[in-house]
Amino acid sequence: MAVVGTGFGLVGGRQDVRGTSAWHHLSTPRRRTAPRTAARPGPDGAEGLGAERELRARDTAESHDALAASTTHGSHDVSPDTGSLDVVRRRPADSAGETARRDPRTQAALEPTPVHTPGLAAWTRRYTLGVVGSDVLVGMAAVLLALPVLDIPFGTVKTVIIVLGAALAWPLAIAISRGYERSNIGVGDDEMRAVMRAVVFAVAVGAVPAAITESLGVVALSVIAVPLAGLGSIAVRFAARKNLHRQQRAGRNVRRVIVVGSAYATADLTSVLTREPHAGMNVIGVCVPRSDVARARDAGLAVIGDLDQVPELIHAYAADAVAVTGSDATRHNYLRELSWALEGAGVELLVHPGLVEVAGPRMHIRPYVGLPLLHVEQPHFTGWRRFVKRATDLALTGAGVLVISPLLAALALAVKLNDGGPVIFRQTRVGLDGSTFTMLKFRSMHVDAEAKLAELRAGNPDIGHMFKMEDDPRITRVGKFLRKFSLDELPQLFNVLSGSMSLVGPRPPLQSEVDGYEDHARRRLLVTPGLTGLWQVSGRSLLSWEETVRLDLRYVENWTLTLDLLILWKTFFAVVARRGAY
């Protein structure tokens, strides 16, 4: 089992359809189909969000009564005294047609219609072949760039052999490092890590013949060409992933997923998958216990069957993956029997452990007495990691200030000439562990902006904790330009040098904002506030307060140096795009 995505465990990987199994009918050729009915959007416009709110408000006693009543159906009997899942008494699952005839509530959902999008196997094959072909070209180009440095002439037979060898060896090194795994496409950082492992592997392999032949040329070629190839392959994957995410936001090249579990758990997971379309998960329907079908439908979920029908519905709806939630309905032997039923079906089995905003690096599978238990590491806020983060801040910020010092002087002059007021705006903000500090910005508003804040808040009560208006009348003419490209934030580089801020982290809040925090939002103060962060690269002012807190907590819980560097890289594109900047 391996943890993938946002809190999923991949239990059974996708396989070629071969051999026989208890569900051998799944291996027959099929036309890709989809349900006619779709999940009714909640009040936010996203599937499942309304369902989540409605189901949270259900009375707990009503839920237990409904589950106890399900024992009369015999499909997933629940023992009235223990609440445990009784798989032994379960009768064989009915076919989709029989269930539709017996229960009219599920009839419409079990009538599939053709799907005009390629299946998972088709688009992942094209993606992988494109990446492999690019790696071949990258390997050849890296060697060609290294040859002049080593003073090796072009056009000789030796050169041709070296170039062709690189075209074969470099993709092979990545393949050995598991860089072409289908489960890693579009999610996580395993694709990039595989390339870095391939660099180490290729250099180490190149050192062996060099040691035997005492040829320094082979060592030099490896040391120069292999890192170049690594950079090229990472760039290729970055571009390929950006293109893939763009297509997935448009609904193409996605995994068609059936979510399985209780009504509340499926609503919760569906809402998470729906609000992040770039994750490539398209929820085509949910399967819940029979006792929950009516309640789930009333809450807006696209119920396509009950728990026993999952293997059949995979065929009927051409699903690529089954996402099982961590609810009472799927505990005990259900998950094991479902994994057996899906063997040979070419379908991914994903298990949601119920953890929110905890990324893969903190989760590991540990075998204890024959049981695969999920080990969750504690988040790290102190120790050598904080020292590394601080050292990185100082190195990058110091070099950056020297490079952009002429720009800082020009912007300061523009602010001064605009209205003759102060160049720098100073404001007290809350930092690490609730301490306060003075944050610096180029002044982008009129001098009396703070005095007008209360009046604007009274006239715009729906804006929430982080008060930002798209057409704020307090902003000056130069200030609009500064804010459009986030140039007003540049003086905070000096806050980074002083240690009150970091390059990457949650935005430093006002004390008035902190006073209104709920308990979970206060975890934002466990790390040093930053000049940029997940909020800035994900939409900035276009995001709601709840989305802002969710992104900040994701950063707090899963900080790594790699994540910081990735956010810094994305910040450049976010500033150029100017999305949410006002």
DSSP-assigned letter for residue 219:
H
d(CA 106, CA 108): 6
pLDDT at residue 177 in the model: 93
C-alpha closest to that of 415 among 352, 491, 343:
491
pLDDT at residue 416 in the model: 92
User: Are the beta carbons of 51 and 271 closer than 8 angstroms?
Assistant: yes
pLDDT at residue 131 in the model: 95
CB atoms under 10 Å from CB of 181, counted, come to: 15
DSSP secondary structure, 491-538, as one string:
THHHHHHHTSSEEESSPPPPHHHHHT--TGGGGGGGS--EEE-HHHHT
Provide the token pair at 121: 């196997």
Provide the token pair at 180: 């072409």
Give, for all 582 residues of the chain, the pLDDT tens digit: 333 334 444 444 433 333 333 333 333 333 333 333 334 333 333 344 444 444 444 433 443 343 333 333 333 333 333 333 332 223 333 333 333 333 434 333 433 333 445 578 889 999 999 999 999 999 999 988 888 776 666 667 878 888 898 999 999 999 999 999 988 888 877 888 899 999 999 988 877 766 666 666 677 778 888 999 999 999 999 999 989 988 888 888 888 999 998 888 888 888 888 877 777 888 999 999 988 888 888 888 899 988 888 988 988 888 999 999 877 766 778 888 888 888 888 888 888 876 666 666 677 777 777 777 777 777 766 778 888 899 999 999 999 999 999 999 999 999 999 888 899 999 999 999 899 999 999 999 888 777 777 677 666 655 555 566 667 778 888 988 998 888 999 999 999 999 999 999 999 999 988 998 888 889 899 899 999 998 888 876 677 788 888 888 888 888 888 889 889 988 888 887 766 555
pLDDT at residue 579 in the model: 64
Provide the token pair at 406: 């002429």
Residues 6+ apart with CB under 8 A from 159: 147, 152, 153
d(CA 349, CA 323): 6
Collapse the DSSP code of 35 into the 3-class scheme (helix H, G, I; strand E, B; otherwise coil) and give the result. Answer: strand
pLDDT at residue 151 in the model: 67
| C-alpha 170 chain-centroid distance | 28
pLDDT at residue 428 in the model: 94
In the chain, helix, strand, coil percent, each to 5? 55, 15, 35
User: Are the beta carbons of 289 and 310 closer than 8 angstroms?
Assistant: no
d(CA 327, CA 307): 12
pLDDT at residue 466 in the model: 59
pLDDT at residue 398 in the model: 95
pLDDT at residue 351 in the model: 86
d(CA 63, CA 52): 15
Which domains, and CATH codes, for the chain? 120-249 (no CATH), 255-354 (3.40.50.2000), 384-459+471-577 (no CATH)
d(CA 76, CA 120): 31
CB atoms under 10 Å from CB of 196, counted, come to: 15
C-alpha closest to that of 443 among 407, 398, 477:
477
pLDDT at residue 414 in the model: 94
pLDDT at residue 359 in the model: 63
